[in-house]
Amino acid sequence: MSTATRAAPLVPAHYRIAAVLAGGVLARLALFASPLPGMLERRPELTSPITSVRSLREGTFLYKHTYDPYAGGVFFHSPLYLLFFAYAVPIESALLSAGLWTLVDAIGAVTLVQIWRTRQPAASKWSGRDHIVALLYLFNPYTLLSCLARSTTSLDNAMVLYAIASTYMGRGGGAMAALALATQTSLYPVILLPPLLLVLKQLGAPTSKLLSYALVYAGTLGVLAGLATAACTPSWVARTWGVILSASDLTPNVGMWWYFFTEMFDHFRTFFRGVFQLHMLIYIAPLCLRLPDPRQAVLILVGAMATWKSYPTLGDMALWAGLLSCYPDYVSNLNHPLFSLTVHLYTAILLPLLHTLWLLTGAGNANFFYAATMVYGLNATLAIADVLGAMISLDTKRQLMDLIPGKYKQYNPPADSGEVIQVDFPPNWTVTQLASLE
């Protein structure tokens, strides 16, 4: 059995990608001219104490007037953002900042397309759909609204995507430098270091080269930390990384931390902070050891980071959703994709509604909003588990197909194509269906 010859597309692939990028850029610039960005800057679903543009404005104002922005209790951004938005792109300029955030989202879409291309063989039925990957990222409501809110999550996402794309293309030095930059600004990307090094090893990098890549990461992170200390007082460490690790600011967000530690007795907080942070780390080794492809570990860890970090936003989930769009073969093997999608839509309505009932109308309390964040976190966790199950199931199918003599395979598509292998099983074979082939 052979696949039917596909007709050539009417519009060349590069024109389709250009059209999607142009549409995403124009949509953002048009919406930036509306009152919507000013309203979204205050939304706890889109911004957190460490990503809010409002606190970034306050910090840059204090810094320009020779005050230490870290001396107070409201500024938790990285010193790199402080310096960049104080001098390179003034955060007070609505036009320049709108252009920057729009450009960053476009760069994120381009890097996602590069990630997509690294895993799609030319014969795949999914080839030629680069524009769909860019479309799903640029017009994802979580990505678009985070951009309009000028959340620094959008900038962090672009750096993480660049690090992943560079790794998959074998550019280890650039990948490690970008990952170090993302670690300096948001800390949690450090958990991607082991699987990314394993990807480079899988691409043929010798052990000595891997060591040099790790040194590039450590050296870049050290240089950035030194630059931050020289530009600001050493107190930035406690007010940025320290706040991320301790979650000392309990401003409501879409995560699990803020309400839990609001209700926690003080003498228990240190222990449970350690437990929560350890929860982010315990998945690294099992995923890297169990999954045959370290790219799979990268995908799962990005999802865990978006769900269980101390100050998550919907923009973090946009990063995972964008990365997941590069794996249609996994999506097609999910057990309950409709459930996960509809619950995401359900929480997207509930989160602003219950926040309004709590803080604006006074008809509710903190439990209302926290209930919505629990549903959001639980659904995200179930979705990650579903993707992990789809990975293992698909790998098992491919391993089973390797045991079947080639003459009984009517059609054997490329391993990463996501297409179904057609098999006419040999006589006297007893087949146990471990997972559906459809």
Taking only the tens of pLDDT, the chain with its 438 residues reads 334 444 555 666 778 899 999 999 999 999 999 999 999 999 999 999 999 999 999 999 999 998 999 988 889 999 999 999 999 999 999 999 999 999 999 999 999 999 999 986 544 555 678 899 999 999 999 999 999 999 999 999 999 999 999 999 999 999 999 999 999 999 999 999 999 999 999 999 999 999 999 999 999 999 999 999 998 889 899 999 999 999 999 999 999 899 999 988 888 999 999 999 999 899 999 999 999 999 999 999 999 999 999 999 999 999 999 999 999 989 988 999 999 999 989 998 999 999 999 988 888 888 999 999 999 999 999 999 999 999 998 888 777 766 665 555 555 555 555 454 555 555 555 444 444 444
pLDDT at position 433 is: 44
pLDDT at position 130 is: 87
Q: For residue 212, give both structure tokens.
A: 């040099």
419 to 214, 323, 422, 434: CA distances (angstroms): 37, 20, 9, 18
pLDDT at position 14 is: 75
pLDDT at position 390 is: 92
pLDDT at position 409 is: 54
pLDDT at position 119 is: 80
Look up residue 405 and give its amino acid.
P
Q: What's the pTM value of the predicted model, to 2 decimals?
A: 0.90
Domain boundaries, the chain: 13-326
Q: How many CB atoms lie within 10 A of CB 438?
A: 6
Q: How many CA atoms lie within 13 A of 41 on its CB side?
A: 14
